[in-house]
Structure 1
């Protein structure tokens, strides 16, 4: 295999690896029965006119499985933090006691679990699409090398076969992560 095809495959592999990591990160943000810091990663608070991530404005404590105590570092950001939590897709209504916000996550209903499974499947499909996009770009680059005469057709076919194997491997990783998340969501 020439250096050109090896570098194309290596580039495709690194992009696919990143895609799998991003997909797994998105899965952690999907709520299960327990509260976790990952659930709050996507929440931004309007702080002095700038959208600021919640984890930069407040500390999160988890005294119980479904309870979160949010303590803003700056007390002037309390109402903005409360609003951001209320408007988030977590479906929570924080209780303000002056110094902290107490967030009790509601128990997941069967319908809500199904919604989260659908969301996980959507994110998994987005990951698969991104992996196939990386495969398409790499395939075009290999075909260009063959067309330009930089590599032979046999070598191009071999590289495409390796690319397909790589694609299959990474799509299986996304599917495995999805299966784990579905099991986690369906466990009461």
Structure 2
């Protein structure tokens, strides 16, 4: 039998090695938490990783605790001035859909864009996150009275498949996308649920 060359041996070992965990655009994958033996500790660690996305401006801007949406990576009050209105859709005569269409529209100058998605609206005020701790947000998103009447399966579906959530990773020219991908965010959500959906305590 022929002796493997050095390069051939390296290639063979690489082929045989298990797929390793990785960080994708600043978000860790589920596999990176596999070495946390205690399931409750792993659940908390998974939720803290979800917070990497939740605390990003792409999410927080539409989850204010008041009646004014935020915008930009520096989370400034929306300009022109708008308010939450009924159903988070804006006030009469200044609905979100007045400016926000079905898709992102790049400025003619190419240096920015108007975000778009149908529907385009604020999260309910009960789901406001700005300024809240991981513990508060975790308890909030598990509570059907404050999360749009979702059970944990519905929460996973929302995080993994909802198009408006997904917009955070395709926010248009001039905006930093949320960390990772929606698929990884969904996987982390499911892994957190599967380990008991434990909330951080500090």
Normalised by the length of structure 2, the TM-score is 0.28
Q: Which has the higher strand share?
A: 1
Q: Which has the higher helix share?
A: 1
